[in-house]
Amino acid sequence: MGETTRISRRAALATFQPFLDRVNIAPPPLPKSGKSLLEAVADWRIHIAPNLKPSTVRAAESHLKQHIIPHLGTLRLSEFTVKVVQAFSTSLISGRTRKTVENVLQTLFSILQTARRFGSTASAVSRADIVLPNGGVSREVRFFDAEQVGKIVAAAKEPYSTMFAVLGMTGLRAGEMLGLKISDLDFTRKVIHVRRSIDSRTRQEQTPKSRGSASDVPMPGALEKRLLEFLRAGYRENLNGYVFANRNGNPYSIGKVTEYRLWPALENLEIERAGLHAFRHAAASELLEQGAPLTVVQRQLRHRDARTTLQKYGHIVGDAQRRAVETLAENIERHATVELEPSAEMEPSVA
């Protein structure tokens, strides 16, 4: 065909350019459609949040502000695939406990589920689709032992002494203890009815943490004696009938009881600082140490699932477990220790 000229090369390229463009240039993305996560969050705040406990809403708002909106806020609901949510959960595990990641995901799935119920097109990804990484940050659980609880109760003045006794002898949560009313103390059947909790921030009544938390717990004799004496000499009358009420007739603040009553007592006793929840951990730990079955401890703490009790307190080696292992070891050692008969090699040589 002869030598190709500069002009003919350009002409050839111009002829093929439309075909090259179709191959090399990606088509413009389609405009996004459907509701965004931010719009779904707004719906959740209007229609769902007012029906939840204040503490639950505060936790959800914290998850939204710190994790969900910064990472996922620009996405449309249709873009929430298993891969997207899995990548999000994997990114959260660094520097956080597994429980924290689960709580953040619970908030996210609550919002996505609400959007689907309201008719929005959202991917049907669920918690069962997500694999949480093993590990994460493990936080040491701070708790008192029975001796420390006794010293704290003895050192505190009323009504705090009785408060701490209730916490240590029953394992109630601090909000549940502050929510107790005179009608909840059944001295005939020797039980305490757990029917409400006091929100740590608003000091308003709310339901206990879970359905299983609203239950009865035994009133041991030592606590019965303390409560009767407190009601006789230290009880402050109030319109709502709270067992523990401040001078205005309102529930005490968890934060103030901790900061101004518990911490000074711990400092004077030279006990490491901890919060009111350490009494609950103390009750569980002591019960397990004394050999109480896991199911008994679960009922006393009112955990919905025994796995929750096991996850929190499975590291405690109780007396029953220790005795069982000692017996096992002794049986093995008894059969392993035999009288060795001297062999020819072991007999002393005659000079």
Q: 146-313: which CATH architecture?
A: Orthogonal Bundle (1.10)
Closest CA to 235 of 182, 198, 187, 197: 182
Stated as kind and residue range, the H or E segment containing 197 is strand 197-198
pLDDT value, residue 264: 96
Distance spanning both ends of the chain, measured CA to CA: 114
What share of the chain has pLDDT > 90, as a percent? 52
Q: Which amino acid is at 36?
A: S
Q: How do residues 47-93 score in pLDDT, each as one tens digit?
A: 999 998 888 999 999 999 999 999 999 999 989 999 999 999 988 88
pLDDT value, residue 344: 55
Q: Has this prediction a pTM greater than 0.75? A: no
Structure tokens at 344: 């020819």
Residue ranges covered by each domain of the chain: 37-129, 146-313
pLDDT value, residue 23: 56
pLDDT value, residue 275: 94
Is residue 31 predicted with pLDDT exceeding 70? no
* Torsion angle (degrees, nearest 10) of CA 295, 300, 306, 308: -150
At 123, is the pLDDT very low, low, confident or very high (cuts 50, 70, 90)? Answer: confident
Q: How do residues 92-102 score in pLDDT, each as one tens digit?
A: 887 788 888 99
Q: Region 274-280: what's the mean pLDDT?
A: 94
What share of the chain has pLDDT > 70, as a percent? 82
Q: How do residues 285-322 score in pLDDT, each as one tens digit?
A: 888 888 888 888 889 999 887 777 777 776 665 666 67
DSSP 8-state code for residue 5: P
Answer left, alpha or beta for residue 171, where phi above 0 means left and psi between -120 and 50 means alpha. Answer: left
Q: Any residues with CB less than 8 A from the CB of 77 and at least 6 apart, and which?
A: 34, 35, 36, 37, 40, 112, 115, 120, 121, 122, 123
CATH ID of 37-129, from 3.40.190.10, 1.10.1500.10, 1.10.150.130, 2.40.50.140: 1.10.150.130
Is residue 121 predicted with pLDDT exceeding 90? no
Comparing 122-136, 170-184, 233-247, 316-330, the range with the smallest average pLDDT is 316-330
- Mean pLDDT, the chain, as a whole number? 85
- Cα–Cα distance, 251 to 36 (Å, whole number): 42
